[in-house]
Structure 1
Amino acid sequence: MSGTSSNLDDTNNDTAHESVPETEALISKSFPEFTSWRRVFVVALCSVTLILEGVNLSLPGPFFPREAEIKGLSQFQIGLVVGSFDLTNLCFSFVVASLVTPKNIKFVFVTGTLWSSITVSSFGLLSESPSGDIFFYSCFFTRLFNGAGAAMLYGTAMPIAVQMFPEKAALITTIIQSSIGCGLCLGPPIGSLLLPLGGYKVPFLVVGITELFVFASSSFIIPNESVKTKSKVRSSDYVRFLGKFSTLSVVIPTATLYFIPGIRDTAYSLYFENVLAVDSKKVGYVFLVNSLAFLTWGPITGVLVGMGLGSIVEVSYQIAAPLIAFALFLPKFVPQLETLGWGVMILALNGITMASTMNPAYLILEKMAIRQGFTNMQQIKTLIASSYNLATSSGRTFGAFVVGGYVNDIIGFYNMCLCLAIVLSVTATWNVVVLIKYGLVGRLYYDSKLDKQVFIGGHRQCFNPS
């Protein structure tokens, strides 16, 4: 890693106000004294919860657009409903980041599971409501409230899980990413499997009831005050962290990359049905390719990040994303490519690209937080989890509302893909140039890695956290 840290905006005097003991910034000495099995159960519970939340997120994509069309909704209204989930998720990420403390992190997590259970079940039951505006507004507000539960879970599951085994941060982060990928993978086929058993509402009711069991389990398994630290993320801390140019250089490109799932859930299913003639009840199996690629590539990314190659992965996916978006545009000029096989290949490549996002972004944001003077890993993990959730939810919201909904309506599917490729090219260039300029392209390790180098207060230091 090159010694270019003097150029960082993260090393202002206001962030280097105190001498930071190297080990204190990396691994808190107040490690929770629980049995290994109980800590494993906590990590497993966080993993299961995010699997269910991934299902909750991906389940409407293949099926809601068709149900909404039957109920008389326009493409733009479909985009509003799909995007409303991430709109609330986006807004609540600020709330979660500002209000979560070691004393209430369990309460926020448990409340999120209950909230999500109720709202996802209600969303399925809305299939029984009248068509037209009543159906639209009911779905919009139910999905809007559903997003609040997701924000609670995304903002707390990672800090809780990582703090159980802080010396294995790379592994835990990989498990969490794989859990989300597994949920995204299971959502569409679960829908296709359960839909014939009782109609549109059945898959959502099954997910909601399962989350209710998770709510009861988490109340007993997760320890109270799972992290004993005096640290708390204040609103001003969160705003300061997000306001840095270097932080935005990761957050905004990640957000634009997450236009893709927003577009997928509003426009892809109808494209596969109307253009590629896929049966509406089987389109969920086509989406499975995207999620399987995400799930398969997630652990591979985790291994690469554990080897110190996270920034290389970050640069690679930033370069690949606009190329994949452009590939989906190509059938407009090469009609022979307008086939199911081509569409499935793009979905798979999108899944691989998305799986290359979380772990590297967490790693790089962690380095930036340490450079900015944050000294406690619980605080840093909360900042990063909320910032990443902010990026992904804002991207999915904009992708669903504006790109997959409005822009798709105005200029058509293929031209929309071209616009996406242009935007991704701009943000990818920004991200890569900044990472190179700031010396963040090279060997980078999580806080738990022994004998590694970090920047604290703008100065390169070596330490061994043992």
Structure 2
Amino acid sequence: MKLPSFTKRQWLTLVVFGVADFCNAICVSLQAPFYPHEAESKGAKATEYGLVFGVFELVVFLVSPLYGQHLNRLGPKFLFNAGIFTVGTCAILFGLLDRVNEHYPFIALSFLIRIVEAMGNAAFLTASFAMIAKEFPDNVATTFASLETFFGLGLIVGPTVGGALYELGGYTTPFAIMGSILFLSAVMTAFVLPSHDQADEIAHQGTSSLLQVLRIPGVLLAAASIIVTSTSIGFLQATLEPHLRRTFNLSPVVLGVMFVVNGGTYALTAPCFGWLCDSKVRPKLVTIAGCVLIILGFSLVGPAPFLAFEPELSVVITGLVCHGLGIAAQLVASFTDALRTSIDYGFPNNLETYGLISGLWTSTFALGAFIGPSMAGILFDTVGFRHATMFVVALNALVMALVLLFVLFARRPRSFKEVSADEYLLGVSGSSDQPEFLQGVRPNGRAAAAAAPVLVAAAERPPGANGYIAASSYKNRHGMWRRRDSGTVVIGPYSASYGSLESRGFLETVA
């Protein structure tokens, strides 16, 4: 596995993102071992403090698409830093709740702080995913997976660190220390992270929406994959502990180690799946492999009712390893697949699209993380753990079948040939140095008039990652999406959406 050749700026960005992801994940997860006990001492019931945890994912699901849609207007660096500062502040405030002695004020403040913290976390994640796509256009999957490793490690370390600091200094200590560390990382990112000042892209703000992205079948399947994957994670978080405790009579320390198995496997293998998606394998094939691994994992952890053997600890561990491999494959592949597919279908290759896909990923993951524990608790109480696991198996089997059918029968979108402004000018000027595919072609008066706005847009748009010119955007009236139903002919491999080759009366060839 060859390391990508990043620039100094890219390596620095990657390090800053890694530190921020790690600290942020610790802050949002460190209260798990001791907050329920503190809440019960104030008179709260399990339903109440369970919703304190659940409302976090619900808020992330609701606000992430809004952040993604308005990323250009807010600015990715501002959104990133504001999110970290918000999470750090809320972590410190959450550590002061032990001073609230009344039952209802304690629960109300817990909800309020957790909701604001979720808004900051959603901002942080949405901006970070978009900036990854912007800074690493050729290695999106690899860098995304690497940062997911840091975030996954933070989620694993968070409860351990929180429990240790709680034993050392009481309820306030873990929140005060980790919140302050996150503040310091926010200061570092404010000075180190590059800015993305793109006034040309802001002019197109609002031309794309999440609903338009979800109309693309490939993106919709990627979103479904994220939901079922995060559902499986939340399912085990809610029910694995009572299942193992009642079946094997394990100590709390061993139970904690069992939770590290799938999370650690995910953190260690995510970069490998990112590398595969970037260089070797279609992301949807990786998604299918992820579904198979999760189905296998849940069938062993139960074990499934159709398997004729009783639960064994070694089999459970094997199942958790398979689950960790499956969630790594699906989460990494889904982000890469959604981004590439949306661009292939005509969305501009710019920060606006990156923000939309980032918001989609964050929102759908949160939706699954909300559904998973909710359904797990109901099914665990009604049918038991072994039969309850079939819910996750069925969901993944359905997504796997749909993705497999899509891979076998869906038609891939037509590839675009990027034509620069200089090539176009050479082509319409009749110069002998014009590109080969434009030689002998000149527009008449109507073609020149129709092409004028396209020429302006192409001339003003910078090269590089923004190479998809304005005429290729989803809603542009000159674009392929609008012309597909108008009878416009596409000549050769060059799309009419670029304004370089017109048809039906718009071109005259030189005899």
TM-score (normalised: structure 2): 0.71
The answer to which of 313-322 and 282-291 deviates more is 282-291
8 A contact 2:71–2:352 mirrored in 1: no
Q: What is the deviation of 1:126?
A: 3.1
* 1:402-421 correspondence to structure 2 within 5 Å: 402-421=374-393
Does residue 1:98 correspond to 2:39, yes or no? no
Does residue 1:247 correspond to 2:224, yes or no? no
Distance 1:339 1:240, change over 3 A: same
Q: Which of residues 426, 429, 436 in structure 1 aligns to 2:398?
A: 426
Question: For residue 188 of structure 1, what is the amino acid of its counterpart?
Answer: P
- Residue deviations 1:391-415, cap 9 Å, x none? 1111001113x21344434444333
Per the alignment, residue 127 of structure 2 pairs with 156
Q: Hey, what's the Cα distance between the residues in 2 that align with 1:47 and 1:277?
A: 37
The answer to which of 381-390 and 224-233 deviates more is 224-233
Q: Which of residues 353, 359, 362 in structure 2 aligns to 1:386?
A: 359
Per the alignment, residue 284 of structure 1 pairs with 256
Per the alignment, residue 157 of structure 2 pairs with 186
Q: Hey, what's the Cα distance between the residues in 1 that align with 2:365 and 2:403?
A: 16
Q: CA RMSD in A?
A: 3.4
Distance 1:351 1:75, change over 3 A: farther
Question: For residue 390 of structure 1, what is the amino acid of its counterpart?
Answer: S
8 A contact 2:201–2:351 mirrored in 1: no
Q: Hey, what's the Cα distance between the residues in 2 that align with 1:164 and 1:406?
A: 43
- Residue deviations 1:174-213, cap 9 Å, x none? 3222222222332233234434212454333332121111
Q: Hey, what's the Cα distance between the residues in 1 that align with 2:93 and 2:402?
A: 42
The answer to which of 43-52 and 189-198 deviates more is 189-198
Does residue 1:110 correspond to 2:85, yes or no? no
Q: Hey, what's the Cα distance between the residues in 1 that align with 2:221 and 2:42?
A: 41
* 1:230-379 correspondence to structure 2 within 5 Å: 230-231=201-202, 232-234=204-206, 236-280=208-252, 283-309=255-281, 310-330=283-303, 337-379=310-352
SS of match in other structure, 1:178: helix
Distance 1:61 1:345, change over 3 A: farther
Distance 1:462 1:323, change over 3 A: farther
Distance 1:412 1:128, change over 3 A: farther
SS of match in other structure, 1:215: helix
Question: For residue 182 of structure 1, what is the amino acid of its counterpart?
Answer: L
Distance 1:87 1:355, change over 3 A: same
Q: Hey, what's the Cα distance between the residues in 1 that align with 2:197 and 2:189?
A: 12
Distance 1:243 1:312, change over 3 A: closer
Q: Hey, what's the Cα distance between the residues in 2 that align with 1:333 and 1:69?
A: 40
Distance 1:171 1:295, change over 3 A: same
Question: For residue 367 of structure 2, what is the amino acid of its counterpart?
Answer: S
Question: For residue 401 of structure 2, what is the amino acid of its counterpart?
Answer: T
The answer to which of 147-156 and 261-270 deviates more is 261-270
Larger C-alpha radius of gyration, 1 or 2?
A: 2
Question: For residue 92 of structure 1, what is the amino acid of its counterpart?
Answer: V
8 A contact 1:174–1:302 mirrored in 2: yes
Per the alignment, residue 421 of structure 2 pairs with none
The answer to which of 65-74 and 175-184 deviates more is 65-74
Q: What is the deviation of 1:74?
A: 4.9
8 A contact 1:123–1:142 mirrored in 2: yes
Q: Hey, what's the Cα distance between the residues in 2 that align with 1:108 and 1:90?
A: 17
Q: Hey, what's the Cα distance between the residues in 2 that align with 1:256 and 1:325?
A: 13
SS of match in other structure, 1:225: coil
- Residue deviations 1:352-379, cap 9 Å, x none? 2111123211222123212331122322
Distance 1:323 1:242, change over 3 A: same
8 A contact 1:99–1:233 mirrored in 2: yes
- Residue deviations 1:120-153, cap 9 Å, x none? 2333443554485554444333322221111101
Q: What is the deviation of 1:288?
A: 1.9
Q: What is the deviation of 1:298?
A: 0.8
Distance 1:358 1:319, change over 3 A: same
SS of match in other structure, 2:238: helix
Q: Which of residues 48, 52, 55 in structure 1 aligns to 2:19?
A: 48
Per the alignment, residue 210 of structure 1 pairs with 181
Structure 1, unpaired ranges of 5+: 1-34, 441-446, 449-455
Question: For residue 321 of structure 1, what is the amino acid of its counterpart?
Answer: I
Distance 1:193 1:378, change over 3 A: same
Q: Hey, what's the Cα distance between the residues in 2 that align with 1:202 and 1:274?
A: 33
Q: Which of residues 146, 151, 168 in structure 2 aligns to 1:197?
A: 168
Distance 1:135 1:225, change over 3 A: same
The answer to which of 64-73 and 313-322 deviates more is 64-73
Q: What is the deviation of 1:157?
A: 0.7
Does residue 1:89 correspond to 2:60, yes or no? yes
Distance 1:404 1:430, change over 3 A: same
- Residue deviations 1:83-135, cap 9 Å, x none? 21111111111110121117622111111001111222333443554485554
The answer to which of 219-228 and 354-363 deviates more is 219-228
Q: What is the deviation of 1:331?
A: 7.3
Identity of aligned residues (%): 20
Structure 2, unpaired ranges of 5+: 1-5, 413-463, 466-479, 485-489, 496-511
8 A contact 2:57–2:369 mirrored in 1: yes
Question: For residue 167 of structure 2, what is the amino acid of its counterpart?
Answer: P
Specify which structure has the bigger relative contact order, considering alpha-carbon pairs within 8 angstroms and separated by 6 or more residues.
Answer: 1
SS of match in other structure, 2:303: helix
* 1:64-79 correspondence to structure 2 within 5 Å: 64=35, 74-79=45-50
- Residue deviations 1:248-291, cap 9 Å, x none? 22212320221122223333334444554344466433322222
Q: Hey, what's the Cα distance between the residues in 2 that align with 1:208 and 1:240?
A: 38
